[in-house]
Amino acid sequence: MGLSGHAAIAGYTYHRQRQQRFFHPTSTPPKPPTNSNMAVTTPFQTLFAVPMTCDSCVKDISGALYKLQGITKVEADLAEQLVSIEGTAAPSAIVETIQATGRDAILRGSGASNSAAVSILETFDQPAESSSVNSDGGKDRTVRGLARIVQVSPTTTLVDLTLRGVAPGTYRATVREFGNLADGASSTGPVWSGATPGKEADATAGDAARGFLGTVEVGASGHGSVFLNHPFQIWEAIGHAMVVSRQDESDGSPLQNDANTVVGVIARSAGMWDNDKTVCSCTGKTLWEERKDEVTKGML
């Protein structure tokens, strides 16, 4: 499996589900999120690949990261080109901080084994016949969002959600009952109830709302991000779809595909030290060569 396709996906194959894809930094990064759901108090570990050539690089990166709120520990391995970080800061904020030093950063792992996941969020509003066929034999879609997910306790999972290139407004982030993306958001079903299989959801117990993660505000720049704290476990969400949309579902209307509704399947991604590949077994490209390819697509 390639360097950008390192997620161990349970029970399905999804050609666009890539762990190591990030958005290209812009000159006007989004403002820090103000969503009330973003309070994160449980520290967790993240591992990044970062190009470093000398001790000065290590010093610059460490110094910048320690200025980021929530960072408690930074360890850099110059020989392996890796930086491990502990704290409560969002991975997207860590990436932006490292990139601000003039260096790139690729997330290589989060949390313990089997405690991390990722969802690449794409639009499905364009007609299938107008979408080009990619090298994997699937249809290319427009990537507009990324959700990095890590479980930090038996009852708490963090969702680091970023949106790019969508219209301003308030977006609802939800986990859906199904992972079927055949028809985009419209085939993902209702919001995930979280009920035990074979048991009706009990609204009074909060089961009916488990799939509602929270909201993210997108400003005039088309950028928005939020760091959410939600009570579910990674294994429960794997294989479900995630949808982020401005659509109102309060009247029971099903979701429709539009230019500002993004959807992706939630797939496992690597935990700390789980992913040590530096050369893709299927393309022969190095980690940074694949990174360069993704940058040209505007997705990093």
Number of Cα atoms under 13 Å in the Cβ half of residue 90 = 20
Give percent of the chain above pLDDT 70.
67
Rounded Cα–Cα distance for residues 177 and 127 (Å):
24
State mean pLDDT over 64-92. 92
Helix, strand, or coil (residue 237): helix
pLDDT tens readout for residues 188-198: 999 998 765 55
Dihedrals φ, ψ of 205, to 5°? -95, 0
Q: Which residues pair with 207 in a beta bridge?
A: none
Rounded Cα–Cα distance for residues 244 and 264 (Å):
9
Average pLDDT, the chain: 75
State mean pLDDT over 141-154. 86
Confidence of residue 65 (pLDDT cuts 50, 70, 90): very high
Number of Cα atoms under 13 Å in the Cβ half of residue 1 = 18
Q: What is the CA radius of gyration of the chain?
A: 19
Contact between 85 and 154 (Cβ < 8 Å):
no
Is 300 a residue whose pLDDT tops 80? Answer: no
pLDDT tens readout for residues 217-260: 999 999 999 998 888 899 999 999 999 999 988 888 889 999 99
Rounded Cα–Cα distance for residues 60 and 44 (Å):
22
pTM above 0.85, yes or no: no
Please give the C-alpha separations between residue 24 and each of 4, 74, 77, 145, in angstroms, as whole numbers: 15, 24, 25, 12
pLDDT the model gives residue 85 = 93
Is 185 a residue whose pLDDT tops 70? Answer: yes
pLDDT the model gives residue 177 = 93
pLDDT tens readout for residues 105-128: 888 888 777 888 989 899 987 554
Phi and psi based region of residue 114 (left: phi greater than 0; alpha: psi -120 to 50; beta: remaining): left
Q: Which residues pair with 150 in a beta bridge?
A: 116, 158
Give percent of the chain above pLDDT 90.
43
